[in-house]
Amino acid sequence: MPVRKRKIPQRTCIGCDTVKNKKELIRIVRTPDGEVLVDFTGKKSGRGCYICPALSCLEKAFHGSLLEKKLEVKIGSEAKEKLKTELLTGIVHE
């Protein structure tokens, strides 16, 4: 009996619009409470979208309001700075 190849989940980065393996991307989630967080585990509940682990992709997502459209929430400047910090510190620690 031949070994079945497992399908690797693919996601699209909202910043650069590149399709990559899900594990290569970072999930940003809007929780049921309306809070926007970086979800390194990929398991938090809420509406999510994916982004490359690069600040340039996050900037592109902010610039075109793509992140706000995907998460269906208004994101203030404080929340944007918090996301940048979480993304940068998370990349350094991983």
User: What's the CATH number where 88 sits?
Assistant: 3.30.1230.10
Please report whether residue 5 resides in a domain. no
Domain that holds residue 69: 10-93
Per-residue pLDDT of the chain (94 residues; tens, 9 = 90+): 678 888 899 999 999 999 999 999 999 999 999 999 999 888 999 999 999 999 999 999 998 899 999 999 999 999 999 999 988 887 665 4
With 0.75 as the threshold, say if the pTM is over it: yes
Please report whether residue 2 resides in a domain. no
| CA–CA separation, 89 and 91 (whole Å) | 5
pLDDT for the residue 22:
94
Please report whether residue 4 resides in a domain. no
What string of DSSP letters covers 4-32?
PPPPPPEEEBTTT--EEEGGGSEEEEE-T
Please report whether residue 49 resides in a domain. yes
pLDDT for the residue 93:
52
Nearest to residue 48, comparing CAs of 76, 85, 22? 22
Residue type for 4, please? Answer: R
Question: How many structural domains comprise the chain?
Answer: 1
pLDDT for the residue 89:
85
